[in-house]
Structure 1
Amino acid sequence: MAHIEERRGSLPTLHYFQTRVIAPLWDAGVIIASSTKGYKIPSCEGDLHDFVNHSNTIIQPLLSRISQYRDRICLATGEAIELLDREEYANLKQLLADPALTGFVGNG
């Protein structure tokens, strides 16, 4: 970030850096590892595992929360509202319906 600030004359926000720099690089196939320490080009297998471990600490709790949220809304509305019926949530709905994940994310 200091290098970017030096070249731009201002410090970009973290959101800007993540969405305008890191995300396009990931989308282009560049292997970038992220962890609680920041971003880096992985230099060993441990860096790769650090990335997966860091991502796992974010993804699993979020999936569990979405599943619980969905279950509670279904219960509260007598199943009149199915939050994941929108087309943009098809992959998420399929993921939460996977029996192999049911124990890990809740009731699915």
Structure 2
Amino acid sequence: MVVFCPFCGNLLFAQQTCGRLGFACRICPVSFPIRGKISNRTYFQVKSVDDVLGGEDAWKNCDVTAETCPECSHPHAYFLQVQTRSADEPMTNFYRCCNPECAHNWRE
């Protein structure tokens, strides 16, 4: 499928010329007839929490706070503050349990 004009590089627009639907350049006298069904799908992948936080290395130099883990009830957790939304919204706190067997992640 031709989306850009091969001569001038401008975007081609859908137009009806001579009773047929096709793509045409508004600057050059170029047109390409549409011969079949045109469809395009793009599937976006959702980022995992580790991609947002920076992976395992982001938790190495974090501070510890007195926050109870909801999984194992350990009394301490590491925490990170990340600006996940616009600048006028508050920062999001991410926690990770200090218990090495648990290492549960949650956010506030």
Which structure has the highest strand share of the two? Answer: 2
Which structure has the highest helix share of the two? Answer: 1
Instruction: Provide the TM-score with structure 1 as the length reference.
Output: 0.26
Q: Which has the higher contact order (CA 8 A, sep 6+)?
A: 1
Larger radius of gyration: 2
Instruction: Provide the TM-score with structure 2 as the length reference.
Output: 0.26
